[in-house]
Amino acid sequence: MSTLPVIAAVDGSDDSLRALDWALDAARRRGAPLRVAHVRQYAAWAQPDVLVAGAPDADDDPVLDRVRTYLEERPDRLDGPDLPRTEYLGVEGAPGAVLPELGSTAQLLVLGSRGRGGFASLLLGSNGMAAARDAECPVVVVPRPGRQVDGEAPAGPGPRVVVGLHVDSPDDAALDFAFAEAGLRGARLQVVAAYQWPLRSWAAPAETIPPMIDQDAVENETRALAEGFLAPHSACHPGVVAEPYVPPGDAAGHLVAASRGADLVVVGRHRRRLLAPARMMGSVTQAVLLHAASPVAVVPPGAVEPQDLPED
């Protein structure tokens, strides 16, 4: 059996080198090989939609040459053993189409929030959005340092992984990934289970009446549901301390606030629906990708983090 790699997508930008650092650490923690991939983009008028045969030689790629030098000069600056087994891949095509395809042979795909050619006003480039939406494996997007976030969330000392939990439709794939990641990092798992408040009851068009439900009752019910959903995951990961955080209001805002100082924020990707078969990302996931201060992992529905493939 051979372990699936962690893939770092690079383009020579500082953003992609930060993502490379994160991917290197992730590969070490998983005992996985590291695959460094550079997608050479076709001219806009001639971009294909898929990987093509006859990919360019990785030994004749200035971006990958820079990465080789970068890694050779950095191994002692990151905690852990020597560099994992590292391979380099150069392909041609449209990055927004090629990057998700690369995820089919990886346990994790890591990229920067914005690479070369992105508009300065965009917090997440289109290639990152496409990869997070379409890849078959979890995708980690590493933001630029110093991103400011609003709001407050309980943090506490030590490493911390944050995951969002919607008690009306819990995402077991995201919870599985978050528990496993917290275990790899020796981190606490902060579970943000926000509930809608205030509730509104509609009596007539443009009229509302105050809710007849007590807020404490809503919070207690949300907490009880969250603890029930977490119990089987905690049983599988007894070394991970899961801490439900049950605030009222907007889930995206609470997740972004909790990202301050976190090692990682984990969110699920939108499930496919009968009338919308294309892959989608929910509004909460998009908001977290755009505004979180920490790296964000987007986990596809039903994804089980792949570890091994049969050797050829």
pLDDT at 130: 86
Q: Which residue has the higher pLDDT, 117 or 240?
A: 240
181 and 128 both lie in a single domain: no
181 and 114 both lie in a single domain: no
pLDDT band at 117 (very low <50, low <70, confident <90, very high): very low
Among 159-168, 202-211, 212-221, where is mean pLDDT lowest?
A: 202-211
pLDDT at 129: 83
Provide the 10 A C-beta neighbour count for residue 178.
31
Domain with 163, as residue range(s), is: 146-303
66 and 158 both lie in a single domain: no
CATH code where residue 188 lies: 3.40.50.12370
Identify whether 233 is part of a domain.
Answer: yes
99 and 196 both lie in a single domain: no
pLDDT band at 283 (very low <50, low <70, confident <90, very high): confident
CATH code where residue 66 lies: 3.40.50.620
Q: Is the pLDDT of residue 232 over 70?
A: yes
pLDDT at 119: 38
Cα–Cα distance measured from residue 36 to residue 68, given in angstroms and rounded to the nearest whole number? 9
52 and 161 both lie in a single domain: no
Identify whether 310 is part of a domain.
Answer: no
3 and 90 both lie in a single domain: yes
Identify whether 311 is part of a domain.
Answer: no
Q: What is the pLDDT of residues 35-67, one digit of tens each?
A: 999 998 764 444 444 444 345 555 678 999 999
- Of the chain, the end-to-end C-alpha distance in Å amounts to 9
15 and 114 both lie in a single domain: yes
C-alpha pair distances (Å), 8 with each of 51, 172, 263, 290, 291:
17, 25, 18, 20, 22
Q: Which of 84, 112, 143 is the last residue of a domain?
A: 143
171 and 258 both lie in a single domain: yes
pLDDT over 70 for what percent of the chain? 76
Q: Is the pLDDT of residue 89 over 90?
A: yes
Q: Let me know: does 289 contact 256? Beta carbons within 8 Å.
A: no
Q: Please state the rounded mean pLDDT for residues 210-239.
A: 91
137 and 215 both lie in a single domain: no
Identify whether 309 is part of a domain.
Answer: no
Q: Please state the rounded mean pLDDT for residues 241-247.
A: 96
94 and 232 both lie in a single domain: no
210 and 78 both lie in a single domain: no
Domain count along the chain: 2
11 and 114 both lie in a single domain: yes
pLDDT at 311: 41
